[in-house]
Amino acid sequence: MLTPGIDRLLTRLPGHLGIRWVRSGKSRRVCLWLLCLALTWSSVTLGALPTLTVGTNVNITKSTANNAEETIAINPKNPLNLFASETASLATKYSLDGGLTWNNCNVTALGASIGDVAGAFDDYSNLFLVELSSSSFHVVVGLSTNGGATFSLLYQTASSGNDQPSVTVGPSSTSGQGSVWITYTDNTGSGRINAQGAAVTGLGHVGTFSAAQIAPGTSGANGGDYGDIVVGPSGQVMVTYQSVNGSEGPDDIWINLDADGLGAGGFGTQSIATATHVGSFSTIPAQPKRKIDAEAGLAWDRSSGPYHGRLYLLYTDRPSTNSPDTDIYVRYSTNNGTNWSSPVRVNDDPIGNGKSQFLPKMALDQTSGFIAVSFYDCRNSAGNNTTEVWATVSTNGGVSFLPNVKVSAGVSSALVSAIAGTSFDYGDYTGLTFYGGVFYPCWADNSNSTGNNPSGALSNFDMYTARVTVNLPVVMVNPRRSGKNFLVSVQTTVGKTYYLQSAPSLTNPFWTTGTNVVGNGLLQDLVDTNLATQKFYRVLAQ
């Protein structure tokens, strides 16, 4: 039995703290009591909303050239391995230390390019990069099997005159097999949306890309552009795109579903997922030359979390076609896009304040099912024409979002002469990647907040990123005895270290650290090999 003092302590502990008590041992003389209490080094109120911690801003490029229109990807096999690229100057970098330092990639095998870059790592550590060739705007697909250090040419489309390619990875309808998919607009066919996929069976083992499939309905009047592609839990594939009307709006965002992915079925008929007042070339003060589109994006929950199978659509909207008050919205579907939820506003500045949020990006953490959204934001700009980068996360399946956090340390502008003369502004999109409780926005920044932009402040853009951590109470899963060992599992966050500590008593506890693991975004075991007749355990994360 426990001592009366510990009994009284237990009766005072509220049930919502997530404390588990486990009694083990076959002999009445050997009674092992395990305290599984979620704690961190700093004070945490258990049961409270998760919080977001923004790390130090990092200048990826430190370039005298202009850098804008970015992509970023994280390697799920090695979450310290990141890849980033951009369109304006084709800077292409990789990191092996979680984004603290960056190295140049060798992409010479892909030939000359005009950009429109997008990248994705798969579960085998294959890194896929798509971009447009300088010659005839073919879509070029590169493959790296060494984290981005070098690329080989994997594939090039036969079609030319293409625009805004995108790439995604996921499972296929064949068990144990992955897939990689690309989508792009074939402007020789009045905005036809093309998609092609290939099977993946291991590192460097990528099959032949399928022939280009034209999304039904996208030739002619309902042609589209500025699209995205995503793979679902069963290998099904969806594309989204915006009608290309060349105006301020209004406009429609369309989808097509291929229910069997790499199977023989092909894409079904197009349907409208949502309407928007943001046309394909909408004017706002912060992006006057390039203008903006709704920048529709997709994410599909393939995690083992409670929202497995939920599909998300991201886009930009505004009250009317002449309003600069653009906002970011997310809808979700639980039936493969047949029906969509009501829109949820992502940015939390005052409604109707006239400020612009634009070029959003969405990423889903497949270890948890959480979704992150980042975007350029003018909420703190008196003239609604300078930007910061803000971000947020939904932990409840897109029903609501956490309070927004400011990610960028400085304020940037596309109105300065160095950028205005390019007519490129911030480009057409930004980058975002999310894995293991950590996400990395990637954006164009000329604030020189890091002090290492060779061109100085408010001149050319450099490519920036920052690590943003989702802080959750530590959850101790399945505390158990195995022979002479005590084990407990912990869902980890990338980059944090988890310590298993024990004490012989709770009256005046003296905690001893036994073992630790470095978080990789997965469920990991902590083991105590030195059992005693009575011990109390806790896990701390730093």
Task: With H, G, I as helix, E, B as strand and everything else as coil, classify residue 188.
Answer: helix
Beta-ladder partners of 507: none
Q: Residue 127's closest CA among 142, 117, 114?
A: 142
Euclidean distance between CA atoms 80 and 77, whole angstroms: 9
Burial 474-508 (b: 16+ CB within 10 A, else e): bebeebebeeeebbbbbbbbbbbebbbbbbeebee
Give the residue, 458 or 542, on which the prediction is more confident: 458
* 487-497 tens-digit pLDDT: 999 999 999 99
Look-up: residue for tokens 């079904």? 268
- Does residue 34 have a pLDDT over 90? no
Domains of the chain: 4-49+479-541 (no CATH), 136-146+159-471 (2.120.10)
Q: Determine the pLDDT at residue 46.
A: 41
* Phi, psi (deg, nearest 5) at residue 17: -70, -10
Look-up: residue for tokens 């911690």? 53
* 413-439 tens-digit pLDDT: 999 999 999 999 999 999 999 999 999
Longest distance between any two alpha carbons in the chain, whole Å: 81
- Does residue 134 have a pLDDT over 90? yes
- Does residue 398 have a pLDDT over 90? yes
| CB proximity list for 96: less than 8 A, separation 6 or greater | 78, 80, 81, 103, 147
Q: Determine the pLDDT at residue 189.
A: 60
Task: With H, G, I as helix, E, B as strand and everything else as coil, classify residue 173.
Answer: coil
Contact at 8 Å (CB) between 232 and 309? yes
Mean pLDDT, the chain, rounded, equals 90
Q: Determine the pLDDT at residue 221.
A: 67
* 283-335 tens-digit pLDDT: 999 999 999 999 999 999 999 999 999 999 999 999 999 999 999 999 999 99
Q: Determine the pLDDT at residue 9.
A: 35
Euclidean distance between CA atoms 303 and 363, whole angstroms: 13
- Does residue 541 have a pLDDT over 80? yes
Which residue pairs from 139-143 have beta carbons closer than 8 angstroms and sit at least 24 positions apart in sequence? 139/165, 139/182, 139/184, 140/110, 140/111, 140/113, 141/167, 141/182, 141/209, 142/107, 142/109, 142/110, 143/204, 143/206
Render 376-439 in DSSP notation, one character per residue. Answer: EE-TT-TTS--BEEEEEEESSTTS--PPPEE--SS-B-S-SHHHHTTT-TT-S--EEEEETTEE
| CB proximity list for 43: less than 8 A, separation 6 or greater | none
pLDDT (average), residues 208-236:
91
* 459-500 tens-digit pLDDT: 999 999 999 999 998 888 899 888 888 899 999 999 999 999
* 49-96 tens-digit pLDDT: 799 999 999 999 999 999 999 999 999 999 999 999 999 999 999 999
Token digits of residue 353? 């304040």
* pTM of this structure: 0.92
pLDDT (average), residues 383-400:
98
Q: Residue 476's closest CA among 523, 418, 407?
A: 523
